[in-house]
Amino acid sequence: MKKEDIPQDKGPLSRYTDEVVYIKNKDGHYETALSSGWKVKNEALDNAWDDIKDRVKFAKDEVLAGRKSPIFDFMEKKLMDYNILAAYVNIWKFKVKRHMKPAVFSRLSKKTIERYAKVFEIDSEELINFKGE
């Protein structure tokens, strides 16, 4: 890519940062240059965020319907999966999956609830008394 061909399409991140890209200079050697964005990449990011919003809404609906525990909602909001959450709370993955069941969640100890709340950066009462806000 030549310096004059670098895409400069404004996107949601362009007001915060520029992206480093590699270009060939006049001598044919690679060097770095800045791009404010690329339309195709911006659209891909928008699609990814739309998917995340859908997952968060699905998680909230599942909790409010009583099919999942509030842990599921906060896990999705924090963009975590079972492996990541299990590592952060230092609980085996299969146990974290069990904690997603409302009946199991209701029997968790205060200490376990506090571990989850700390990871989600919320108060334990917010986790226990989930309102879906």
What are the average pLDDT values for consecutive 10-residue runs of the chain, which has 133 residues? Answer: 71 75 85 81 87 97 97 97 98 98 97 97 95 79
Residue 75 burial (CB < 10 Å; 0-12/13-18/19+)? Answer: buried
**pLDDT for the residue numbered 1:** 64
**pLDDT for the residue numbered 110:** 97
Q: Tokens standing for 124?
A: 């334990």
Q: At what angle do helices 70-77 and 110-120 cross, to 10 degrees?
A: 20
Give the DSSP H/E element, type plus range, for residue 121: none
**pLDDT for the residue numbered 32:** 87
**pLDDT for the residue numbered 41:** 80
Tell which CATH architecture fits domain 41-128: Orthogonal Bundle (1.10)
**pLDDT for the residue numbered 45:** 85
